[in-house]
Amino acid sequence: MTKLVLTRLGGMVLVLLIVAFCTFVVFYLVPSDPALLACGKPCTPENLALAREFMGFDEPWWQQFLTFLGGIFTGRTFGTGATAIHCSAPCFGYSFRQNTDVLELIGGRLPVTFSLAVGAAVLWVGVGVAIGVYAALRKDSWFDRAALAGSVIGVSAPVYLVGLLGILVLGFQLNVVPVGNYTPFAEDPVRWAWGLVLPWCVLAFAHGAHYVKLTRSQMLETMNEDFIRTARAKGVKERTVVGKHALRNVLLPVVTLTGIEFGSLLGGAVITERVFSLPGLGGLLIEAVHSRDLPTLLGCTLFAGFLVVVANAVVDLSYGLLDPRARLT
Amino acid sequence: MYSKRILAAALVGALGVSACGANDQKAPGDAAAKPDKGGTLRILSESRTINFDPAKSQSLAITTLGLVHRRLTGWQNAVGQPAKVVPDLGDTGRTTDGGRTWTFVLQEGLKFSDGTPITSADVKWGVERSFAPAFGGGLGYHKDLLGGADYKGPFEGKELDSIETPDAKTITFKLTRPYGDWPWIASTPAFAPVPKGKGAEPDYQEHAIASGPYQIATYAKGVEVKLSRNQNWDGSKDQVRAGLPDDIVIQLGQDASVVSQRLAADSGDDKYAFGASFASPAQLAQLQANASAKSRVVTSKSGAIAYLALNTQKAPLNNVKVRQAFQYAVNKSNYQIASAGTAALAGDAATTLITQGIEGREQFDLYQTKPEGDPEKAKALLAEAGFANGLDGLTLVLNKSNNQTEKAEAIQAALARAGIKVTLRSLEADAYETETNLADNPTYDLTLSSWQPDFPSANANIQPLFATSEIGKGGYNISRYSNPEVDELIEEAQSTVDVGEAGRKWAAIDKRILQDSPVVPLIYTRNSFIHGSKVGSFFIADFPAYPNYLQVGITK
């Protein structure tokens, strides 16, 4: 068990190192100079050299990469004297664009993305699985056909289109949900939830469609298995057959998909956050791309990679809870 | 039965919610009404950061930074009048040696938001601070003039010898050469005071000490900035700021199209808001159907000059006749359509380098033709220059982040009519900047660009774009135009202190440069902004093409 966990941890670190390395290399391959944004106007070669030196972009790329990795363990200092900027360990970079340590930036944006992801995931898993199960149990009924048609729309329609339509119809024409306001949970939980209703629904509509299709097909397959027939033959109530025997098997791929999608979403629901003006990690990533903010970009990419890796590990471990055959001994 | 009851309850609930109205919509008020003192103004910004550190800011004197920081001098801008330099913290300066030494006297009784007096030493500290490598990114027109090539800011214990503060109210700048526009330079962000000895921290922008009508109450990174009234600001000593609202909330990271829809809907708090970004042509087209929203769109009369730059150092564009042919080959009418759908939204066709709203500007057209151009005349000029078969293999570089493809294609098609074949090459923003502003021997022949002066002087229109010193090395002379005669004229006009005389000199330089045709002026681009129905005094003067934030207030 310990060996397995250590192997997984080693693998996680290796994946993250590769992600960091690739991001670094990609940004050195494209013609980008992050020092330009701190150069001022007019940007003379002397000012540019000073900005590069202060930001640490005057070193060769491999040295910058090693300095970045070193900063995670020992912290970093940019500049000297009274104006020196210290980024304490674990330092995942310093955004000169936003004058903040990247980890602090991520920490500030994470609650927004987390709020969005959790609410949407609860909706899409809950509603998606319920519709999928019900559609499978009523195969070929009008409900089944409607669910399938709805899920095809959900899978096909781009989130930005659904989001903008939602804003236009529900926000402005019917005027039933607020638009463009995010209130932190600690400030006012009701306004927090109310402000997120539309983004939750839009995300859930797009993601939930996959769950409807997945749950329905898995359920149909499982309900034809021998053990279901056996359970029914033994006189087990239909509710128990569906809820305990069938659903438990159906949930295995659902959990896998949920874990991976939730992990990815925590890394930033870029389009949804943009459309709904939510100040989350997706927005941070886009701003970093637009403003050549390499430290923030690297930090966000690494963090998103970390979440996906962790989500995968959690999914692997949760298999044991749902399927005794997969339990670690 | 049970499920039907739930459905009914849900419907009733939903109707109840609808009746409450999440975005409370009421009839719009009179947008033209005069604003009163008080209320909370909201600014909806696309940007996720607002930089309140004067050393790092490139903000115009009439927008966000001006709400919090005063500067040594200010701008007075009004509709139908050229912008004027006016006193702000100090007077507009005086010179006794033809513009090399400038002395400004501060007003009595000025205070920072923390109650401490604002002295000339604080202004000096603010300027010195802008030289520190840790506080780069701002407007730096003053740096070269103050001879600070080796100066790295006051935090290393050194002062800038070219700035003297003989007493708490007087500040003297000794420049490296005579410069008539120094009072305008003193209106740039670096001339905002920072209390001496303070501002070493990198996040000074989030708690900067205010000298203007507002101070930073809260700064939620990427989300919102709340400004509250600075109780130590005295309106009677400030002629450029009305300071009407009690509070100002700047909502950051707002999607531009959603902002446009919100302001068009004019509901709830959005009635007291305006959008900081331009309304796009698509958004403006949508707003046409909404009479209320349409009445709340403010469009500038003029704006930045959009132009086609011709690389004058590369054959065949090093031939003046060839360059003059481009003046007739372009189709400004099509360019307007490609820019914004209609000429009215895009802006008037441009024929001068000095933009409207600038003192001394003269209207002229050296290459009179139809808005569609005159390809035959262009062909004739090319033939005179020895290119009877037209030109082939020219490259037009574009900045990808400026959405210029359609405009470039319009130029490409227009030039093709005169036998000029152009290939478009799109570059990422950094690569574009490196190629056009930093490279020693760039390969491009043509490029599209636009320019709005950083301060309202013809000097800021002409010198950055056409002086030899601005070629490469980070300068903006992307036509790489070099003419010793023009350089001399620019230097002479820059050293002229009398505004009227300087204006006449700049107008003459404008004509002289266009005789050499290093660029083809295309249009003076218009900007449109939309505001809520309770926002008053929302106007765009002749310069710059932005609303004056310092005058905006809330109506009843």
A310-319: pLDDT as tens digits: 887 777 777 6
Alpha helical stretches, state H, B173-227:
182-185
Residues of chain A neighbouring B475 (CB-CB closer than 8 A): 42
Residue B58 and residue B449: Cα distance in Å, rounded?
19
Token match 């050549």: residue?
Answer: A292
Searching chain B, which residue's CA lies closest to the CA of residue A184?
Answer: B223
Give residue B175's pLDDT: 97
Residues of chain B neighbouring A194 (CB-CB closer than 8 A): 22
Residues of chain A neighbouring B25 (CB-CB closer than 8 A): 175
CA dihedral A246, A251, A254, A260 (to 10 degrees): -160
Supply φ then ψ for residue A71, to 5 degrees.
-60, -30
Give how far A26 is from chain B: nearest CA, Å.
Answer: 14
* Surface of B (85-114) touching A: CB under 8 A: none
Residue B550 and residue B61: Cα distance in Å, rounded?
9
Inter-chain contact B222–A275, Cβ cutoff 8 Å?
no
| Token pair in block for residue A108 | 């500030």
Instruction: Note the pLDDT tens digit of each residue in A10-40.
Output: 888 888 889 888 888 887 776 667 787 778 8
Residues of chain A neighbouring B470 (CB-CB closer than 8 A): 42
Mutate to test the interface with A, among B258, B432, B466, B477 (most CBs of A within 10 A): B258
Residues of chain B neighbouring A32 (CB-CB closer than 8 A): 428, 430-431
Task: Provide the strand spans (E) within B312-411.
Answer: 391-399
Task: Provide the strand spans (E) within B52-124.
Answer: 73-76, 84-87, 94-95, 101-105
Residue B45 and residue B547: Cα distance in Å, rounded?
14
What one-character DSSP code corresponds to residue B231?
A: T
Residues of chain A neighbouring B149 (CB-CB closer than 8 A): 46
B272 within 8 A of B41, measured Cβ to Cβ? yes
Question: What are the pLDDT tens digits along chain B (556 aa)?
Answer: 334 443 344 333 333 333 334 444 443 344 445 888 999 999 999 888 888 999 999 999 999 999 999 999 999 988 888 889 999 999 999 999 999 999 999 999 999 999 999 999 999 999 999 999 888 889 999 999 999 878 989 998 899 999 999 999 999 999 999 999 999 999 999 999 999 999 999 889 999 999 999 999 999 888 899 999 999 999 999 999 999 999 999 998 888 888 888 899 898 899 999 999 888 888 888 888 889 999 999 999 989 999 999 999 999 999 999 999 999 999 999 999 998 888 888 999 999 999 988 988 999 999 999 999 999 999 999 999 999 999 999 999 998 776 788 899 999 999 999 999 999 998 877 778 888 887 778 889 999 999 999 999 999 999 999 999 889 877 899 999 999 999 999 999 999 999 999 999 999 999 999 999 999 999 999 999 999 999 999 999 999 999 999 999 999 8
Report chain B's terminal Cα–Cα distance, integer Å.
Answer: 52
Residue A262 Ramachandran class (φ > 0 left, ψ -120 to 50 alpha, else beta): alpha
Instruction: Note the pLDDT tens digit of each residue in A54-106.
Output: 888 888 888 988 998 899 889 999 888 888 889 988 898 898 888 889 999 99
What one-character DSSP code corresponds to residue B420?
A: E
Searching chain B, which residue's CA lies closest to the CA of residue A33?
Answer: B430
Residues of chain A neighbouring B153 (CB-CB closer than 8 A): 83
Three-class HEC string of B384-417: HCCCCCCEEEEEEEEEHHHCCHHHHHHHHHHHHH
Give residue A10's pLDDT: 85
Residues of chain A neighbouring B205 (CB-CB closer than 8 A): 99
Token match 């900081």: residue?
Answer: B276
Give how far B104 is from chain A: nearest CA, Å.
Answer: 24
Searching chain B, which residue's CA lies closest to the CA of residue A41?
Answer: B139
Residue A277 and residue A279: Cα distance in Å, rounded?
6
Inter-chain contact B476–A109, Cβ cutoff 8 Å?
no
Mutate to test the interface with A, among B255, B263, B440, B459 (most CBs of A within 10 A): B255
Inter-chain contact A180–B259, Cβ cutoff 8 Å?
yes
Searching chain A, which residue's CA lies closest to the CA of residue B190?
Answer: A40
Residues of chain A neighbouring B137 (CB-CB closer than 8 A): 37-40
Give how far B471 is from chain A: nearest CA, Å.
Answer: 11
Residue B432 and residue B427: Cα distance in Å, rounded?
5
| Token pair in block for residue B258 | 């959603």
Give residue B4's pLDDT: 40
Instruction: Note the pLDDT tens digit of each residue in A152-181.
Output: 888 788 877 888 888 878 877 777 777 767
Q: For residue B47, count other CB atoms closer than 10 A to its CB.
A: 17
For chain A, helix, strand, coil in percent to 5 are 75, 5, 20
Query: Which among B262, B401, B431 has CB closest to A180?
Result: B262
Q: Give helix A102-137 / helix A142-156 axis angle, nearest 10°.
A: 150
Question: Which of B387, B233, B238 shows the shortest CA–CA distance to B325?
Answer: B387
* Surface of B (27-86) touching A: CB under 8 A: 48-49, 58
Label the pairing between strands B391-399 and B446-451: parallel
Searching chain A, which residue's CA lies closest to the CA of residue B129?
Answer: A83
| Token pair in block for residue A68 | 């970045």
Q: For residue B265, count other CB atoms closer than 10 A to its CB.
A: 23
Inter-chain contact B17–A176, Cβ cutoff 8 Å?
yes
Q: For residue A263, count other CB atoms closer than 10 A to its CB.
A: 22
Searching chain B, which residue's CA lies closest to the CA of residue A109?
Answer: B222
Query: Which among A44, A50, A279 has CB closest to B474?
Result: A44
Compute the Cα dihedral for A19, A22, A23, A24 and give only its sign: positive
What one-character DSSP code corresponds to residue A234?
A: T
* Surface of B (156-185) touching A: CB under 8 A: 156
Average pLDDT value for chain A:
83
Residue B2 and residue A130: Cα distance in Å, rounded?
18
Question: Which of A168, A122, A191 shows the shortest CA–CA distance to A275?
Answer: A168
Inter-chain contact A176–B136, Cβ cutoff 8 Å?
no
* Burial grade of A91 (CB within 10 A; 0-12, 13-18, 19 or more): buried
Give how far A6 is from chain B: nearest CA, Å.
Answer: 38
Average pLDDT value for chain B:
90
Question: Which of A132, A204, A111, A134 shows the shortest CA–CA distance to A163?
Answer: A204
Inter-chain contact B140–A41, Cβ cutoff 8 Å?
yes
Label the pairing between strands B40-44 and B247-251: parallel
* Confidence band, pLDDT 50/70/90 cuts, at residue A137: confident
Give bridge partners of residue B41 from the DSSP assignment: B248
Residue B365 and residue B368: Cα distance in Å, rounded?
6
Interface predicted TM-score (ipTM) of this complex, two decimals: 0.72
Interface check B430 vs A, CB under 8 A:
yes
Interface check B428 vs A, CB under 8 A:
yes
B238 within 8 A of B88, measured Cβ to Cβ? yes
Query: Which among B141, B221, B259 has CB closest to A105?
Result: B221
Instruction: Note the pLDDT tens digit of each residue in B136-193.
Output: 889 999 999 999 878 989 998 899 999 999 999 999 999 999 999 999 999 999 999 9
Inter-chain contact B258–A99, Cβ cutoff 8 Å?
no
Question: Which of B532, B537, B541, B544 shows the shortest CA–CA distance to B249?
Answer: B532
Label the pairing between strands A85-87 and B214-220: unpaired
Query: Which among A79, A99, A171 has CB closest to B23?
Result: A171
* pLDDT of A326 over the 70 cut: no
Label the pairing between strands B535-536 and B553-554: antiparallel
Give residue B283's pLDDT: 84
Whole-prediction pTM value?
A: 0.82
